[in-house]
Structure 1
């Protein structure tokens, strides 16, 4: 057992001891020990938030699972996005949770983790799908061909999200970005916001929320291949106070000032931006349109559906097993389930996506959603008396992998 495994096992044993003493938890399996055959245990993390861990059989052997259950009908509880402070950035789930004051959380969306196919281009760390935090749109989805992660089930794409609305109900949905750029010579379409990849021939917008990473990656790849080369026909303009203030022949980098919007175009989009002149008035409008509800979202994160209406989606992969993170809900969206598998060597064989759907249904979920897995899978929670979270599963990487975002659980005393 490594030093990290011993530390995590000690943390979980501490949780076990404290909760057993208070009469809340009985017979929990200890993460990092040998949990096979142990009875499932349940513990209260905070008002409306419980945690338990358990073994479950899988095609490639026993796996160990960690589950957070969140009662969204509890007025003390809310769910929101954990983020590292910028779209184009990464941080460990534990760091993001402590910074935000969350009592628990898991990792979120797949993200731009490397750029081996584009030498010299910086990996941004930005997530694939849409992201909404505190009711504010942070970013929209990259083109489906440009996503990082396993193959998507048929009928799904990068606009799929799991979210919670202002009605405090969880739901799965699709969020489509709609934007316009109005100029004295007419209106052109805006095709994205704070994305690490733009559609060919399009224009995307970048704000202070993007961060300081280079925007070069947004001009690489194509509508059919993430590995396609970077465009040499690019142009960007900077808009502040409703007017064009600067222009450049290629994508830039560095922080974007509050109140400033950078418009970046490639191919035909670059040609449209070249027609703008310094001082010209420009109005940028943007919104997200939900396909399933008119209820505004307070939180949304990308991934892809695996269970809908109590039935697994057709075409789910049933051959590739891995450590996974998933989310689901029941009780009309009033109860949220966050599942993370243990990455300890003894249980690293994991589940297939088809098995994830079956397990989420067995846990009571009506709809379920796959989040990033493998080395990203992380579940954190505060143990009683602590002001910071502990990692309760064993991530497959050590130290904890920095990720693009996560799902944070917040509970007022």
Structure 2
């Protein structure tokens, strides 16, 4: 085993060559460990949005394929890499193999760089983007983007073999030749030296990160390194090698891990930063840009991940999505809902009751009210040509009876409970279970009351909702219940307030409203939010309209070194990002931003279930 050329590796090789029998790997590594620890990499370069191509390797596609919707010969969701199986999307198109962004990053360890052209994705994988960029052509399906790795793997002498829904990848064996640590002004840097490029994966555990590298290592050597690093109080907790894989356990803290690679010699760099990571902007598809940046409010910095979408493009459309398309009750991971609805991207949206999983806000799809707004809370509405409005929304309903009585109907298909009358249509689901004790349930069919019955105890019965009618549920109002006797005719009238919302076929409610006409209009008390909610600091989701008419779907992480933004800070962040109008969405554990089946803002294993979201759809044929 030889180390790559560097000051450390040269010393190591001289010792081995001149005294092959007097020095074991472990003793030589231990003797040189001080040099290993002190030797650092240069700072990670930050590249501009447009990558300058100064030279192009011969194996790169001369004419990158366009990001049009692609007919696929074969596709799957499993990757078998050097004996281990991972979840990861891949496809074969015209004898070329592509991986999804998530698979390329999470399974192989490639880093997606800034791009201005959605048909070409620059990546960094043991390469120098300034002198030898790796530009991968892209193709799109309605739900995913694939990056063409065909020429890259040929150059690297990898073997690819599609087998059903699994893509088998075999790479040449690499070897770990050293692990070192240095302290930087912004945090800690750990470097894994390699004899040749190797794929890697990073996993988050309890209090630690686990870096797995597809490379073998001398067990005694790495144990000696691990001991010295621990004695030097580095974040490296341990190094282990088994077969053709080496794992490095790293102490986790509030620092943000940033893992990247460098060539000549090949090495893997793990930066644990106490400061913001470099910004990133990726033209991901026509009319869609993935952004990562840091917003500074005074002395506080907030990492922000956004998806900017142009809803005016014919290729794109927006729509409300939820877990079970046949009913309003229930929650599911946003990734599941996104796949079931066939969206290519989504952000979580409205609130829900965390006990019975019922919606707590407006949902309108294609002009049909599926769930009504509550408490005059903020909502976003849009049409099919890309026009968008935001405001505080109500949906007053009136039931006019044949007896001449007029009744206020407070809510439509909602989990929000208060004294008065609510209406539940077949969009709620096939049945209704009382939400509180002692409700009176009135069945209306064909515009006429046909039955009235006591609801009994909450959740103890399932009352059918007629396909040609609805239920009126009366809570704590015996006078109204008495007026809804069998045989009474009922006519329901409903109109949005403000009336402008009625002309928009798609609506999702959340709240509170943050910005209108660039001004902060936050008034959470007026929208019925509790003091505990108002005072909370948490990770957030929000949606805003930019000055050019594009929509910004945004997630805000914990401030560097602290907790998430308050509602007031959320409004200021959206203002700083250039939003004209902005709406707060459900946040905390619900905060999720998806793009091409990958979670952009948090580890996938931390994603909670949500009731609904706003999906982005890529239209076939455009």
Change (3 A) 1:59 1:374: farther
Change (3 A) 1:76 1:21: closer
Does 2:73 correspond to 1:73? no
- Alignment correspondent of 2:286: 47
Q: Are the aligned partners of 2:359 and 2:611 in contact in 1 as well (CA < 8 Å)?
A: yes
- Alignment correspondent of 2:189: none
Which of 348, 355, 374 is matched with 1:107 structurally? 348
Does 2:489 correspond to 1:282? yes
Change (3 A) 1:294 1:52: closer
Secondary structure class of the residue paired with 1:393: coil
- Alignment correspondent of 1:336: 551
If asked which structure has higher relative contact order (CA below 8 Å, sep 6+), I would say 1
Change (3 A) 1:65 1:254: farther
- Alignment correspondent of 1:299: 506
Secondary structure class of the residue paired with 1:186: coil
Once the two structures are superposed, what CA deviation does each residue of 1:149-179 show, in whole Å capped at 9, x if it has no partner?
xxxxxxxx43x21121355211112332232
TM-score, normalised relative to structure 1: 0.76
Partner Cα distance (1:65, 1:213) in 2: 41
Partner Cα distance (1:298, 1:352) in 2: 32
Secondary structure class of the residue paired with 2:343: coil
Change (3 A) 1:188 1:182: same
- Alignment correspondent of 2:182: none
Q: Are the aligned partners of 1:179 and 1:284 in contact in 2 as well (CA < 8 Å)?
A: no
Change (3 A) 1:365 1:399: closer
- Alignment correspondent of 2:418: 199
Q: How far is the alpha carbon of 1:111 from its aligned partner? A: 1.5
Does 2:448 correspond to 1:243? yes
Partner Cα distance (1:55, 1:245) in 2: 59
- Alignment correspondent of 1:271: 479
Secondary structure class of the residue paired with 1:191: strand
**More divergent stretch after superposition (177-186 vs 87-96):** 177-186
Once the two structures are superposed, what CA deviation does each residue of 1:267-301 show, in whole Å capped at 9, x if it has no partner?
22x432334443x1523424231316266122211
Secondary structure class of the residue paired with 2:470: strand
Partner Cα distance (1:21, 1:174) in 2: 36
Partner Cα distance (2:514, 2:360) in 1: 17
Instruction: Give me the CA root mean square deviation.
Output: 3.6
Where does structure 2 lack aligned partners over 5 or more consecutive residues? Answer: 1-85, 88-101, 130-201, 203-255, 259-271, 525-532
TM-score, normalised relative to structure 2: 0.52
Q: How far is the alpha carbon of 1:264 from its aligned partner? A: 0.6
**More divergent stretch after superposition (293-302 vs 398-407):** 293-302
The structure having more radius of gyration, on CA atoms, is: 2
Once the two structures are superposed, what CA deviation does each residue of 1:58-108 show, in whole Å capped at 9, x if it has no partner?
679644321010112212211111112222221111111111111111100
Does 2:328 correspond to 1:87? yes
Change (3 A) 1:235 1:38: closer
Q: How far is the alpha carbon of 1:12 from its aligned partner? A: 11
Question: Of Structure 1 and Structure 2, which has the larger fraction of its residues in strand?
Answer: 2
Q: Are the aligned partners of 1:236 and 1:248 in contact in 2 as well (CA < 8 Å)?
A: yes
Which of 357, 369, 373 is matched with 1:141 structurally? 373
Matched ranges for 1:245-260 at <5 A: 245-250=450-455, 252-253=461-462, 256-260=465-469
Partner Cα distance (2:545, 2:123) in 1: 25
Where does structure 1 lack aligned partners over 5 or more consecutive residues? Answer: 115-122, 145-156, 220-229, 383-388
Q: How far is the alpha carbon of 1:23 from its aligned partner? A: 4.3
Which of 205, 209, 219 is matched with 2:427 structurally? 209
Q: How far is the alpha carbon of 1:14 from its aligned partner? A: 5.5
Does 2:382 correspond to 1:175? no
Q: How far is the alpha carbon of 1:53 from its aligned partner? A: 1.5
